[in-house]
Amino acid sequence: SYELTQPPSVSVSPGQTASITCSGDKLGDKYVCWYQQRPGQSPVVVLYEDNKRPSGIPERFSGSNSGNTATLTISGTQAMDEADYYCQTWDSGTAVFGGGTKLTVL
């Protein structure tokens, strides 16, 4: 079965740029979306189609996807961005989630 791999944790200082990676076999041939889950809350999509932001998602969220790796980038990270982030794609009609990355804003 298809697998997506994310680092368990990423730390960033306020105002700096955070990058969260998501790896999978030929992932660049698929579309990837990213979800943010703050503690005690339901997930919210922050990017779809690799790099498109839904309405209401700040411009500091951006994404890329090429080769075997998709990347979520948060520019000018704020304290409110501290959350778990999950990448997700589809493979053979099955939705696949990455294991999640805890973003800590120190």
DSSP structural state of residue 100: -
The answer to whether residue 2 forms part of the interface with other proteins (CB under 8 A) is no
The answer to whether residue 88 forms part of the interface with other proteins (CB under 8 A) is yes
Residues 6 or more apart in contact with residue 75 via CB below 8 angstroms: 17, 60, 62
Of 77, 90, 2, nearest to 36 (Cα)?
77
Residues 34-53 that bind other proteins (CB under 8 A): 35, 37, 42-45, 48-49
CA distances from 71 to 20, 64, 92 (A): 6, 5, 22
Single out the residue of 59, 79, 80, 95 in contact with other proteins (rule: CB under 8 A). 95
The answer to whether residue 33 forms part of the interface with other proteins (CB under 8 A) is yes
The answer to whether residue 56 forms part of the interface with other proteins (CB under 8 A) is no
We find the least distance from the C-beta atom of residue 16 to other proteins, in angstroms, to be: 25
Nearer to other proteins, 15 or 36 (CB): 36
Of 88, 71, 73, 85, nearest to 33 (Cα)?
88
For residues 93 and 30, is the Cβ–Cβ distance under 8 A? no
Please give the residue ranges that form the binding site for other proteins (CB under 8 A). Answer: 1, 31, 33, 35, 37, 42-45, 48-49, 54, 86, 88, 90, 93-100
